[in-house]
Structures are given as C-alpha cells and as structure tokens.
C-alpha cells in the first residue's frame, strides 16, 4: 500500500477540497465524468502513464483523460513546445502559422481531409459537421446510432440514454432525449438507426430518404459497445447516401487514434466529413472538422453567399495547435504500429486471465482501445452491450476495486485507452490486476 504513496505536499485532503467544491459547483464537478463516490480524488501531478493524487497515491492511467492523451502526461517534447508558445502569448485576434502547420499535418493523414477547420472540443466538431451538412444539403434531419455518444450538442445527444424502458421497436428506435427540456423539434429531426444492422438501418433511412442531411457514424462507437463498424455496414450506408443526396459524416473524435488516417483508413469508402478532437490537441482543448472541399466551401467567408458563418474566440488557439502538432508528429506510423501491437498483447494477456479465472467476460475494441463486457460472448449490438442497473453496479464495484486496491484508472464502461509511453511492464500490471479482480468478483 505504502509503495504507492510518494508525496504529501498538500495541506488539504481531497475530501476537504470536495466539501468546498460542493458549495460552489453542482455535484462539486464541472464534468460528470470527474464525479466519484464518495468524493473525487484531486490530482497533484502526472507524468507518462502515472498520475499522483494529492494524498500522494500513484496510479497507472488507462483512461488518459477520456482517450485524449496519446502520449500520456507531460510528454517532454510537447511541454517544451507549449512553453515556448506560451511565452509568446496564448491567444490573439489575429491568425498564427501554428494553425496552418497543424492543418497541413492533419490533411496529409487522410485522403478525405481536403479542407479542415479547428474548434475547441469534440462536441463543437460534431456540431459543426451537422451544421455544415445541413448548409450544404439544405436538409434538416440527421441520423445517428442508438446509444451512441457524440458530445453534448442537442441533436448529437438524442438516444444517448436509450434503455429498455424507452428504446422501442428495433425497426423504429425511439429518438429519446437525454436532457430534460430537449425541444420536440430536435427529437423530430434526429432519426435513430441500430448500429451494424444493415437491413434495419437502410429501411429506417428509406423512410426519410429526401430529408436527411447526414448519417453520423462513429466507426468504433464506445458507448454502443466499442465494436468496429462492419465494412459492409459502412459501405451500405455510404451507398445509400450517394443514392439519396445525403452526406456520410464520421465521428473520429476518439477513433482517430486507431490508425495514421484514423479508423476511416480501414474502409473502402471515405466519409464526406469527419469530426476530430481529443488526441489532436496534444492534451489541450481542441476539436476539428475536415472533409470535401466543395462541402467545406459553406464556411468560406470569400463566398458571395456564406451558408455557414462560423467562428469561436479560442478556435485554432496557438497553444492547442502547437501541442497538437507535436503530439501528432510523434504519433507516426511506427508509433501507431507499436502502440496497437502493445494493446493487442494486453488483450491477449487479459484473455488468458479470463480463462484462468474462468469468468464470463469478453472484450471488444480496435487499435489502442478496448472494453470489457461482463458476458462470455462479446456483444454485437448496442442492446447486447447495454449495462442494466445490476451490471452497472457490478462494473462500478470493479472499477473501485481497480482504483483503490490495484491503483489502476480506467474509463467507467470498463474501457482502457492506451498511450505510447506504456510498456510491457504496465500491461503486466494491468493483466495481473484483472486476474486478481476476476477472482475477487467471481
């Protein structure tokens, strides 16, 4: 236990700080993902794949700020570049070359990225993709997968809370709101399809054939179950969009880590527009959207008729651009191959642990990410992957066991997001921790 306690510099405990936080911030947190019972643990510092809280407890970080840190914490090359930029100022009302250099780097990575624009978050990127699709097609409706998470834009949130009491017939999944007070108009304009189910999805799309601006697809949707989109599913949607004048929009906010050109490089068809975020900011707030030149023209202020006026005080912020560029330069083909191979090795070791402990657990994922499911057969659909209350309670207990006993941080679906600074040592610790946990919770 004491091995993990490396320093005690802070005067106050996490519990004391949280008490103050609750007086000021609803639930004491500005992101619900920070919430942790009985109180969140406040961080003192982090380096590489290790995070130390103010109580001095060090943990291995397999959450990496919800998949946003591809090189772990405080990577020296990113830190140096950022400090240099910060000394020169952090935000101007004029343009910087940092934006153009990052744009070049990203556009060079995927053939579909003919033009790109930067924003401040994945939420904004998805919002911009939806608005650009509407502006280009002149249509209002969008369609997204049941249960999929795409950030917090009203339209993108629809169906995120789909559960057995409200999810409806598979041929007509409900457009259930997430936030109370979501306007009916929003719900009417979001059509829900069942992920990876070609026949039903096409039938649902056909019902709205001339109304759909874009079909939003996450190629490996985390909340749906972290199952890669089947090539034939993606191709069928692509074909449908060609026939019906709609756009294919990928959300690669998380999945861009899967390959040099994101998960889209694994498909024979390419999306018209792509939302990006997380790793492309090198640890700083960022988002971007990229795609076909003719579509992105809706944003061009030189056009006589500007169809989608778009701005943002901190968009293309030079600190984020600099950090992101260095992070993505480091995340080259070789680094990706190495990281994905390490993740594959980790999955193999965890599968071995599952076998030894003889527990009904399965794994889904792609590239440098995976998710555990508390069932022997890996889920193929959102409804199969859905965690009911009982399963969720069990998952929470497991997460607490890993956090407190094994000193391991994960994403709360039981998912791990690897970083390039991880080594065999960390995956050995992780697979041993899982083995201990499987035995404990058998």
The residues of the shown chain that bind ligand PLP, judged by CB under 6 A, are: 66, 121-123, 126, 149-151, 218, 222, 251, 253-254, 277
Q: Are 240 and 246 in contact (CB under 8 A)?
A: yes
Q: Which is nearer to ligand PLP, 217 or 435 (CB)?
A: 217
**From the CA atom positions of the chain, what is the Rg in Å?**
22
- Among the listed residues 18, 42, 50, 149, the single catalytic one is 149
Kindly state the smallest distance separating residue 54's Cβ from ligand PLP, in Å: 25
Rounded distance between C-alpha atoms, residue 60 and residue 62, angstroms: 6
List Cβ neighbours of 274 (8 Å cut-off, separation of 6 or more): 110, 112, 113, 129, 249, 250, 251, 252, 262, 264, 289, 290, 291
Kindly state the smallest distance separating residue 278's Cβ from ligand PLP, in Å: 6
Check the CA dihedral 338-340-346-347 and report its sign.
negative
Q: Which is nearer to ligand PLP, 66 or 429 (CB)?
A: 66
Q: Which is nearer to ligand PLP, 237 or 254 (CB)?
A: 254
Three-state secondary structure string covering 115-179: EEEEECCHHHHHHHHHHHHHHHHCCCEEEEECCCCCCCCHHHHCCCCCCCCCCCCCCCCCCCCCC
Kindly state the smallest distance separating residue 436's Cβ from ligand PLP, in Å: 29
Q: Which is nearer to ligand PLP, 68 or 81 (CB)?
A: 68
Burial class of residue 377, CB neighbours in 10 A (0-12, 13-18, 19+): exposed
Kindly state the smallest distance separating residue 209's Cβ from ligand PLP, in Å: 26
Kindly state the smallest distance separating residue 125's Cβ from ligand PLP, in Å: 7
Q: Which is nearer to ligand PLP, 414 or 437 (CB)?
A: 414
Check the CA dihedral 438-440-441-442 and report its sign.
positive
Kindly state the smallest distance separating residue 93's Cβ from ligand PLP, in Å: 24
Burial class of residue 306, CB neighbours in 10 A (0-12, 13-18, 19+): middle
Comparing every residue's Cβ against ligand PLP, the nearest one is 122
Q: Which is nearer to ligand PLP, 254 or 399 (CB)?
A: 254
- Among the listed residues 144, 270, 278, 407, the single catalytic one is 278
Q: Are 338 and 145 in contact (CB under 8 A)?
A: no
Q: Which is nearer to ligand PLP, 50 or 250 (CB)?
A: 250
Q: Which is nearer to ligand PLP, 117 or 150 (CB)?
A: 150
Q: Which residue has the tokens 């058998």?
A: 442
Instruction: Mark whether 251 is an active-site residue.
Output: yes
- Among the listed residues 154, 189, 197, 251, the single catalytic one is 251
Rounded distance between C-alpha atoms, residue 182 and residue 407, angstroms: 39
Structure tokens at 189: 């304009």
Structure tokens at 407: 């000193």
Kindly state the smallest distance separating residue 255's Cβ from ligand PLP, in Å: 7
Instruction: Mark whether 149 is an active-site residue.
Output: yes
Kindly state the smallest distance separating residue 62's Cβ from ligand PLP, in Å: 16
Catalytic residue IDs: 149, 251, 278
């Amino acid at each position: 236990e004491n091995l993990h306690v490396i320093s005690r510099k802070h005067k106050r405990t996490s519990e004391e700080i949280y008490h103050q936080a609750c007086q000021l911030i609803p639930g004491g947190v500005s992101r619900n993902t920070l919430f942790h019972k009985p109180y969140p643990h406040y961080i003192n510092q982090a380096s590489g794949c290790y995070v130390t809280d103010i109580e001095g407890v060090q943990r291995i970080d397999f959450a990496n700020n919800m998949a946003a840190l591809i090189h772990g914490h405080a990577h020296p090359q990113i830190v140096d570049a950022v400090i240099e930029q910060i000394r020169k100022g952090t935000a101007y009302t004029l343009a910087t070359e940092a934006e153009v250099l990052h744009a070049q780097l990203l556009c060079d990575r995927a053939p579909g990225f003919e033009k790109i624009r930067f924003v401040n978050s994945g939420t904004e990127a998805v919002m911009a993709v939806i608005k650009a699709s509407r502006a280009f097609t002149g249509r209002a409706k969008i369609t997204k997968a049941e249960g999929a998470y795409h950030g917090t834009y009203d339209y993108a949130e629809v169906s995120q809370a789909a559960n057995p009491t409200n999810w409806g017939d598979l041929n007509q999944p409900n457009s259930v709101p997430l936030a109370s007070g979501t306007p009916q108009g929003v719900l009417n304009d979001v059509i829900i399809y069942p992920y990876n189910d070609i026949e039903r999805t096409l039938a649902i799309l056909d019902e709205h054939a001339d109304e759909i601006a874009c079909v939003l697809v996450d190629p490996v949707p985390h909340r749906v179950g972290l199952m890669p989109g089947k090539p034939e599913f993606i191709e069928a949607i692509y074909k449908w969009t060609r026939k019906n004048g709609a756009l294919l929009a990928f959300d690669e906010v998380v999945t861009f880590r899967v390959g040099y050109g994101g998960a889209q490089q694994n498909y024979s068809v390419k999306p018209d527009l792509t939302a990006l975020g997380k790793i492309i900011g090198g640890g700083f707030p960022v988002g971007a959207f990229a795609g076909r030149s003719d579509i992105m023209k809706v944003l061009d202020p030189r056009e006589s008729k500007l169809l989608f006026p778009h701005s943002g005080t901190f968009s293309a912020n030079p600190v984020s651009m600099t950090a992101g560029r260095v992070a993505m330069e480091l995340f080259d083909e070789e680094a990706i191959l190495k990281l994905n191979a390490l993740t594959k090795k980790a999955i193999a070791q965890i599968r071995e642990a599952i076998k030894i402990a003889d527990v009904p657990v399965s794994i889904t994922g792609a590239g440098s990410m995976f998710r555990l499911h508390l069932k022997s057969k890996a889920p193929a659909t959102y409804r199969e992957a859905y965690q009911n209350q009982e399963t969720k309670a069990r998952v929470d207990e497991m997460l607490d066991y890993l956090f407190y006993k094994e000193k391991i941080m994960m994403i709360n679906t039981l998912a791990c997001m690897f970083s390039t600074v991880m080594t065999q040592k960390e995956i050995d610790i992780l697979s041993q921790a899982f083995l201990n946990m499987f035995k404990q919770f058998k």
